[in-house]
Structure 1
Amino acid sequence: MSHGRSRFLRLAAAILLGASVGGCLIGEDLHRGYVIDEQAVARVKPGTSAEDVLKILGTPSTVSTVGNKSWYYISQTATRRLQFMGESVTEQKVLAVYFNQGLKVERIALYGLQDGVVFDFISRKTESGGQEANFVAQLFRGLGSFVPKN
């Protein structure tokens, strides 16, 4: 075998090995749950029926079982820096649709974590105490516990 061909084969093997190992080093973003469509959310106004909300937003991730009727659409983004390593949650959002007794939309809220506090992106305020804010906070704590921390 010629010296030039041997050198070429070693170089090709090194490139192939480097490419396969390099694929393991690439991080990724993982999206789970409901994908929030801002245009669809904008179509849900106070007074919209529950049936129409289902048509517009689809089936909720979870619903309240106590108190007023509320539907929650849950979204989470996690990042994994290296393949085969743990992932860390980078973003969590909960779209909450609150209904009145007649099953018409009373209000909607989009909750996220801002500086570690549950924050409503629609009204631009942090909820003070109350049953619903506590329930949403529990959703955030519960979602975070499913993903191992680095």
Structure 2
Amino acid sequence: MKLLRNAAIAVTLSTTALAGCQGPSEVLYQGYVVDQETLALAPVGSSREQVLLSLGTPSSTATFDNEVFYYISQKRKRAAAFLKPKIVEQSVLAVYFDKDGNVERLGHYTLQDGKVFDMISRVTPTGGAEVTFLGQLLRGGANPGGMIKNVLGTD
């Protein structure tokens, strides 16, 4: 009976401690949110300069055949400050220009329309091979040449 009571107390304390760690989720907004009033200032047929004046500098551009401006915004949530945020909403406004530099059409895409657009990558690629701690030990640490010299007695 005493063991059952101690187990119930332990479960209650653990549940309370884990609930305290959860806290409120954090919402992060990133990018340029275009409202309808601002979008009305750059209708189909307007010039590239008018789009830049009304909507501002685009998040990204594409210059394949005709130029395209992309205005991208994302909403991310994370349950705790140390967790990686997850994208819950994404909006991409694409402004397509014709060969004369006038707005040909506007496209509005959401997260359901395609792939997540990574505005900021938080991973920096490194050059060379990635070696684990055990691999470094087997190779002789940071100075494998010095290790070989010590083993051979040439130091």
Matched residues, percent identical? 39
| Deviation, structure 1 residue 38 | 2.0
CA deviations on 1:103-142 (whole Å, 9 max, x unpaired) are 010111111023xxx1xxxxxxxxxxxxxxxxxx4xx344
SS where residue 143 of structure 1 aligns? Answer: coil
Give the direction of change, closer, same or farther, for the CA distance of 1:98–1:78 in structure 2 (3 Å limit): same
Distance 1:90 1:142 in 2: 12
| Deviation, structure 1 residue 39 | 1.2
Structure-2 residue corresponding to 1:133: none
Report the structure number with the largest CA radius of gyration: 2
Give the direction of change, closer, same or farther, for the CA distance of 1:29–1:144 in structure 2 (3 Å limit): same
Give the direction of change, closer, same or farther, for the CA distance of 1:79–1:101 in structure 2 (3 Å limit): same
Structural RMSD (CA):
2.7
CA deviations on 1:80-123 (whole Å, 9 max, x unpaired) are 11222221100111100001111010111111023xxx1xxxxx
Structure-2 residue corresponding to 1:143: 118
Distance 1:69 1:111 in 2: 17
Structure-1 residue corresponding to 2:96: 98
* 1:66 pairs with 2:73: no
Q: Which protein is richer in strand relative to its size?
A: 1
Give the direction of change, closer, same or farther, for the CA distance of 1:49–1:111 in structure 2 (3 Å limit): same
SS where residue 96 of structure 1 aligns? Answer: strand
Aligned pairs (5 A) from 1:1-150:
25-114=23-112, 118=113, 137=114, 140-143=115-118, 146=121
- TM normalised by structure 2 equals 0.59
Structure 1's unaligned 5+ residue stretches are 1-21, 119-136
Structure 2's unaligned 5+ residue stretches are 1-19, 124-155
| Deviation, structure 1 residue 25 | 2.0
Matched length: 105
Give the direction of change, closer, same or farther, for the CA distance of 1:141–1:27 in structure 2 (3 Å limit): closer
